[in-house]
Copies of this chain bind each other. A is one copy, B any other.
Amino acid sequence: MLTPPSDTHPEKGIVTQLRGYLAQLDLPEDGRLPPERELSAALGVSRTELRKALDVLEAEGQLWRHVGKGTFMGSRPLDTFADIAALARRSNPAEVMRARIVMEPEIARAAAFTATPADIAEMRMCLARSRQAETWRQYETWDTRLHRTIAEASQNTLLLGLFDTLNAVRRAVTWGRLRTDPVKPHADHHSFAEHEAIVEAIEHRDIAAAAAAMRTHLQTVERKLLDRQ
């Protein structure tokens, strides 16, 4: 499968010639260098020989290559997938709640700064729809969407991404213990008033109240969660 590097003996000259050429070359921002076919022509060597030299530099970690993409100086960018499944495996509902209590009040605080009228309109719609929900399933859909709308309103794509990750883990952890009650949430379910308070605070640009209301809400949710176990 893999050919041991020591198997071939590329002329050392080609490697050093390549090194010099690359050093003298001014690379684009991403460190991409010309395709092999051009490079071999520019250096006056065959593609086979050039590739042997490139093999050496790659083994040294000086560059990395990928089919269809090209050859790049530097080290290969990290495999960049926050493995949600792995996170969920290590975590548990209590941790998820603690993480929510850490993140979401501060997100709400930021949202109170930056929310647009459209954001607030969508929050209000989520409130209304969650009140009209006929099943817990529907209720949770609109509850989730309300919280995400608040995260969107923070106008920070990174915070939103972190929130989504947290949410994905939450779904994965909570999966299997979903509420399947046929009954629907009572009209005086604690979340209704608490959600209302959060949106109210955001609408009034009261950043401290927004954070506090979100914290209160999540702490209530946490208490209910622990009670049930």
Interface residues of A (CB under 8 A from B): 1-2, 29, 59, 61, 75-78, 80-85, 87, 90-91, 95-96, 98-99, 102-103, 106-107, 109-110, 117-118, 121, 125, 129, 141-142, 144-145, 148, 156-159, 161-162, 164-169, 172, 176
- Say whether B78 contacts A164, CB under 8 Å: yes
Interchain CB contact under 8 A, B110 and A75:
no
Decide: A158 and B166 in contact? CB cutoff 8 A. yes
Choose among A2, A59, A106 the residue with the greatest number of B CB atoms under 10 Å from its CB.
A106
Q: How far is the CB of A147 from chain B (nearest CB, A)?
A: 10
The distance from the CB of A180 to the nearest CB of chain B, in whole angstroms, is 15
A157 touches B102 (CB 8 A): no
Query: Is the Cβ of A164 less than 8 Å from the Cβ of B80?
Result: yes
